[in-house]
Amino acid sequence: MVSQIGQVVLLRELLMVFYGSELSIGIILASWMFWVGVGSWAGMVLAERVRRPLSISAGAAAGVLLLLPATVLGSRLLRGFFDVVPGEYLSFSATALGSVLLMAPGCLLIGVQFVFVARLWREQTGACDTSGGAKTYLFEAWGDAIAGTLFSLLLVHYLNPFHLVLGAAALMAATVVGLGIRAALRHPGRRTVKLIGVAALALLVVAAAGAFPYLGRLDDLAYQEQWRLFAPDQELVETRRSKYGTISVVRREDQYSFFQSGHLAFSTAEEDAVAYQLEESPAAEFAHFALAQHRSPRRILLIGGGLRGVLREILRHPVVEQVDYVEPDVVMVETASRYVPRETRAALASPRVEVIPTDGRLFVKETDRTYDLILIDVPDPATAVLNRFYTTEFFHEAAERLESDGVLATGVTSTSDLRGSAVVNQNATVYHTLRTAFDHVLPVGDLFCYFFASNDPDQLSADPEVLRHRFADRAVEAEAFSEWYFHTLLEEAPLLRRHWILLHHGRHPEAHRTTPETGPLFPAPIAEQLAGEADLPPVYERYFINSDFRPIGYFHSLVLWNRRVDRERAEIFRRILNVRGWWIWPIIGGFLLLQLVLRAAGRRLTGRADAHYAILFTIFTTGLATMTLQITLLFAFQSIYGFVYEMIGLIVAMFMAGLGLGAALTRRRALVEVPVRPLAFIQLCIAAFAFVIALVLPLAAAAGASWITFLGFSVITFGGGLMNGAGFPLAAACCMGLNRRTEKSTGIAYGTELFGACVGAVLAGAVVAPVIGILACCVLAGIMNSTAFVLILVSRNASWKTNNKMPQPG
């Protein structure tokens, strides 16, 4: 429970520092698992040398009790350790280094604790096998499931991060105090020394309990210092928590900015403030430009943007009869309502507006309402969560919610000339993806590119006079927008050149690596450009069609962001785009070749080198499969439910519950014999299950009713956890059969599995899912576990000839 709560709390804290992309999540989780794995290996060495394991366990509990709150505090102060300009996000290299250094102390002790708890359990039962490690693994998985559920549904709403980690660590320390008292009463020898140690730890627990009333103040001070490091010229006005993340309100003179988990959501100012027109102009431009693209927009769906002023500007059009404003975070609405302009507050209360507190993607999928105009006002797809609003699946769902002459409006960051490969890749991906759902797409803009899409050939217009007359005929009164802006935004030469570049870019296998073509000096009108499209090569879908199961748009945005904060490291991401799926086969061939070499050498050396290699590889691939399948399920589930932390928390809890049940089902088999054959069978089952997930997952995601989707994901998740959990007791027992050392076997098995999960987190989150596809994560897991099955069969035939029985007590 300590591990799960600590992991989730630090994940949320560091996402505020690292901009919140899924790449950051992969790095954070990889750092956590790496250091817990190192701690497990260190515990393995210590456990064979220490005579009083309870003392080490007590020391580890005391260390975790002190270090976890300190780690939370360190995450708030992390920016101070890097040379970054105020307001600038940390680079990829700083993200990786910060995660690795910050996680090390506490995670090392958690890894050590696992091995010593396993030894204490073994000694209590008098066993001489790995049953203690298997039971520890089992109850740890169930503790993860319970803690994840409690955190998502209850704890996160009432306790701050310091309360959570200190309370969980104090609970573990109090448990160790109980063990110490029991040991002192049952064993009179050195009772005084034991009771002194127990009393010291108990005193630390009491001190932690006494600190609880002051943790709220510590939380506030830590947030203040965090924002001082990020933006020293801004004042942190308020911090609130919701199920979607931490909301921070900062002020600079008359301007208020709202951040959600580190993302700048929007900025605003009161009507009489100097910065009012500056802040309201982008919102007004987007709203009026979008509404002018439709001849008579009566029913409108707005996803996001209402609090920054888009909703207010929409209502200035008298023709509008109904606006459905979807904003999932009620806490954000309540918080922002105290700072946004009076007109925005009035718009939220307008009888023409219905505020719908749900996820925008989920609402579009399930509603039966239809609209004349849908406005998507969310940030760039720099995370997989935001990328959901830029995929071909979402655009098709949105098209079904539009009337036959309806218009969809969205946009992303751009440049005036589209010269950089990163920015043109992002813009071209949005353009080509929209073209999969709409017949007509009009890109317009400068530093921000608006995309207007419709299936009606006469609805969209690039003629500024047409739009000006539509706007003027409605007698719209807007201080932040003038009808003459249409001439500025629709200047003919830049408009035609932008369309030409986006239409042509992405039609070559290497387009994602090159700068866009300059094109003709005077491009043809848009209609003529589209008429010649049939003579162009097809769009290279791998890099320029964004989908739920291949979120390449998220990766292009990630490259663009990194070029702004860390140009040299951005080249790493460009190289990742060159990854090919077939590269896995030479790697698998290398693993198999090494097995054959070890088998041949083993006949002249130890005779068991290939067996050691096969078992370690199997444990490693089990951890890798566990993490890649988790990432697959979370990405896919997220594409439907978005930021619904309760459901995602339940999904993770179901996975861990399955993990615990799987360990419970196989741990007894490991007490009698070295379970080589069952371990091989489990690898085959995991591989088959991973391939089945790749086939079933798109069907589950496409289910009409959300409860059917949730049920399908739950079954898949529980089954995945069940099969992965079944492997650990068997793998630990096989290690025991090779080296005949209990604590070493437990530490090796646990640590190696975590190292596999560490690699899986980086590969799946940063490379496989965005570049090759989410379903490729399942294929990767299946291939790796199939390889482990083959290695076990080869090593079993060569090396598992004697000593197949597990050692028995006495």
Taking residue 110's Cβ as centre, other Cβ atoms within 10 Å add up to: 25
> For strand 299-303 and strand 440-445, is the pairing parallel, antiparallel, or unpaired?
unpaired
Instruction: Quote the CA–CA distance of 732 and 747 in Å, as a whole number.
Output: 9
- Token representation of residue 562: 């990194």
Start-to-end C-alpha separation, the chain: 35
Taking residue 86's Cβ as centre, other Cβ atoms within 10 Å add up to: 12
Catalytic residues: 377
Instruction: Quote the CA–CA distance of 470 and 527 in Å, as a whole number.
Output: 22
Beta-sheet strands, E only, within 382-536:
402-413, 440-445, 448-454
Task: Give one DSSP letter per residue of 661-718, joined into a string.
Answer: HHHHHHTTGGGTB--HHHHHHHHHHHHHHHHHHHHHHHHHHT-SSHHHHHHHHHHHHH
Instruction: Quote the CA–CA distance of 385 and 362 in Å, as a whole number.
Output: 12
> Which single residue is written with the structure tokens 């190696």?
752
> For strand 440-445 and strand 402-413, is the pairing parallel, antiparallel, or unpaired?
unpaired
The contacts of residue 507 (CB under 8 Å, 6+ apart) are: 536, 537, 538, 539, 540
- The burial of 33, by beta-carbon neighbours within 10 Å (0-12 exposed, 13-18 middle, 19 or more buried), is given as buried
Task: Give one DSSP letter per residue of 250-284, joined into a string.
Answer: EEETTEEEEEETTEEEEEEE-TTSTTHHHHHHHHH
∠715-780-395 over CA atoms, to 5°? 70
Tell me the torsion sign for CA atoms 750, 756, 759, 765.
Answer: negative
Instruction: Quote the CA–CA distance of 249 and 338 in Å, as a whole number.
Output: 11
Instruction: Quote the CA–CA distance of 4 and 7 in Å, as a whole number.
Output: 5
Give the strand order in the sheet containing 263-269: 235-242, 245-252, 255-260, 263-269
Phi, psi values for residue 231, rounded to 5°: -145, 85
> Which single residue is written with the structure tokens 């515990």?
43
Taking residue 751's Cβ as centre, other Cβ atoms within 10 Å add up to: 26
Exposure string of 202-216, with b = 16+ CB inside 10 Å and e = fewer, is bebbeebeeeeeebe
Q: At what angle do helices 742-762 and 609-641 cross, to 10 degrees?
A: 40
Beta carbons of 203 and 196 less than 8 angstroms apart: no
Instruction: Quote the CA–CA distance of 791 and 612 in Å, as a whole number.
Output: 11
Helices (H), 442-504: 464-473, 485-489, 492-504
Compute CA distances 487 → 292, 464, 470, 473, whole Å. 13, 5, 14, 17
> For strand 371-376 and strand 440-445, is the pairing parallel, antiparallel, or unpaired?
unpaired
Q: At what angle do helices 774-799 and 676-701 cross, to 10 degrees?
A: 170
